[in-house]
Structure 1
Amino acid sequence: MTLQRTISRAGSRSVKRALSVQAALEWAFRIEQAQLELPLPPDVTEEGFGFGLEYVLLQRAVLGCKIDGGQHKIGGYTHEDAEVIAATVAGIPGSLGGKRMAIRVAELARAGLTPDWMPGAVPRCVPTLVKQNQHGSHAGTIVVGSERIRVRGANARAMWKTIDILACPVTFSPHPQQIEAARRGYDDWCCALGWVRDGLIAGGMLRELEVTTAMPKIRPWA
C-alpha cells in the first residue's frame, strides 16, 4: 500500500491512504458498513434515480462541513469517505446497469468477493440420465422410436421382429452460455468499478483516502 502526504490548510501534515477502487469499496461497505439508501431531492422521484457526483458535491456545498454518516451504522460512526463512495456507487448510470449494478457492487464489496467468472470451466458432454446397478453407474437410455427387422429363427425361417431404438440424451455441463453469462457479468462489474474509480478520482471528494488507478484483472480467463 502506498501513502501520499498532503498539507492541510492549517499547515499540519496528514496522510492519505492509497487504495484500489475494489479495496476502497470493500473498506466502505464491509468495514464502515456504508449503505446505498440516501435521501432523494424533493423534486425527483425514486424510480430511475441514481446519485451522481454532481448531486453529492451540491449537497456537500450546502452543508459546508463534513458529512455525518453515523445514521447508517448501528453503534458507531460511518466515515464520511465511505458515505461518498456509497453515493458514487448509487450513481452508476443505467448504461452500466444502474441500480441493479449498484446493489451488486455493494453486495460483493460487503462480502469481500469478486464475481465468479467460472475459472477453468470447460463444457463437457455428459448424459442427462444416469443409472446405478451392482457394477456402478452408467448412462441411461430412452426409447426414441422402433424399427422392424428381419431375423432368422431357430428353424432357419426368416421372421420379422420389432425392436426399440434407444438413445442416450446428453447435455453440456457447464453449458457454454452459462460460462459466457458469468464472464459477461464479470466484465460488466469491471466496467462499473472503472466508472466508480474515475468518478472518485475526478470528484476529489475523499479526504483521507486516495483511489488509485489499479483495477481487478481484465478478462482473467483470456
Structure 2
Amino acid sequence: MSIQRQIGRTGGTKVKRTLGVQAALEWAFRVEHAQLELPRPKDVSEEGFGFGLEYVLLQRAMLGCKVDGGQHKMGRYTHPDAEVIAATVAGMPHSLGGIRMAIQVAELARAGLTPDWIPGVVPRCVPLEIKNNQHGERATTIVVGTERVKTRGKWRTVELLACPVTWRPHPEQIASARRGYADWWLALDWVRDGLIAGGMLLEVEVTAAMPKVRPWLASSRK
C-alpha cells in the first residue's frame, strides 16, 4: 500500500488517513524516517518507562504544536505524527522489553518486515554429522560398546556402532522464534493502545487492526 504524505480533504474538512499500527509504524520509520534518538526526560530513571505520552504532549506545547523534524533531523522534514509515533515507541515499558524492544520494533518497521517465526518448517531427525568419501555421503558413527559373537565357530569381539542424531531445526529454535514474534506483537499492541488513547495524532488515525496473534496456527491448518 502506498502511503502518501498529503492527507486528502473532502468538502473542506480534513480527513485523517486510517492505518493499522504496523502500517503506521512503517509509515513513520520507513517513509518519514523518524528516529528513536530523543532525549530522555531528566525525571525518568533508567528503570522507568521512557517517553510517556504526556512528555510528548508537553514538548509539542513548548514548540507551539509544530514539530519540524526534531534536532536530530537537520535538513529533513519529518511529519509531526511520525515524531509522535517514534516517541511513543521510545517509551516502551521495561516489562515489554524496554529500549531493546523499541529498537527492534523501529528497525523492523523501517525494513518493512515482520519477525521471522520460521513458517512452514517441520523438525526432522537427521544425522549429527555427515562425512564424504569415495562411496558418497555417509552418516558418522561412534562406538558405543562391544559384544562377543560367534561366527564360523569362533568367538569374536565386535564393536557396536550408533549414529548420533539431532533435530533440525531444533524444536526449541522454532519455539524461541515464535516467542520473539509474540513479544513483538505485545509491543505493537501497547503502541497501538497508547496512540489511540493519547489522541495526539493530527492527520493519521490508528485503527484497532493488528497482525495475526499466532500466524503459525493458521498456517498449520492449510
Q: Shorter-chain TM-score: what band? A: 0.7 to 0.9
User: What is the deviation of 1:98?
Assistant: 1.0
Partner residue, 1:38: 38
CA distance in 1, matches of 2:215, 2:196: 25
User: What is the deviation of 1:15?
Assistant: 2.2
Partner residue, 1:155: none
CA distance in 1, matches of 2:198, 2:97: 21
CA distance in 1, matches of 2:140, 2:147: 20
Partner residue, 2:18: 18
User: What is the deviation of 1:48?
Assistant: 5.2
Contact 1:69 1:78 in 2 (8 A): yes
Partner residue, 2:168: 173
**2:100 is aligned with what amino acid?**
R
Partner residue, 1:190: 185
| Residue 141 in structure 1 maps to residue 141 in structure 2 | yes
Partner residue, 2:155: 160
Contact 1:5 1:14 in 2 (8 A): yes
User: RMSD in angstroms over aligned alpha carbons?
Assistant: 2.2
What's the TM-score once normalised by structure 1's chain length?
A: 0.86
Contact 2:192 2:208 in 1 (8 A): yes
What's the TM-score once normalised by structure 2's chain length?
A: 0.86
Contact 1:67 1:80 in 2 (8 A): yes
CA distance in 1, matches of 2:199, 2:86: 15
User: What is the deviation of 1:140?
Assistant: 2.0
Q: Percent identity?
A: 74
User: What is the deviation of 1:74?
Assistant: 5.5
User: What is the deviation of 1:100?
Assistant: 0.9
Partner residue, 1:90: 90
**1:184 is aligned with what amino acid?**
R
**1:61 is aligned with what amino acid?**
A
Contact 2:51 2:91 in 1 (8 A): yes
| Residue 207 in structure 1 maps to residue 188 in structure 2 | no
Cα distance 1:48–1:136, how it changes in 2: closer, same or farther (>3 A)? farther
Question: Aligned pairs, how many?
Answer: 212
| Residue 76 in structure 1 maps to residue 71 in structure 2 | no
Cα distance 1:82–1:105, how it changes in 2: closer, same or farther (>3 A)? same
**2:166 is aligned with what amino acid?**
T
CA distance in 2, matches of 1:6, 1:83: 26
CA distance in 1, matches of 2:54, 2:46: 17
Deviations 1:178-209 (A, max 9, x none): 11111111111111101101110110111111
Contact 2:141 2:164 in 1 (8 A): yes
User: What is the deviation of 1:133?
Assistant: 3.6
Cα distance 1:70–1:91, how it changes in 2: closer, same or farther (>3 A)? closer
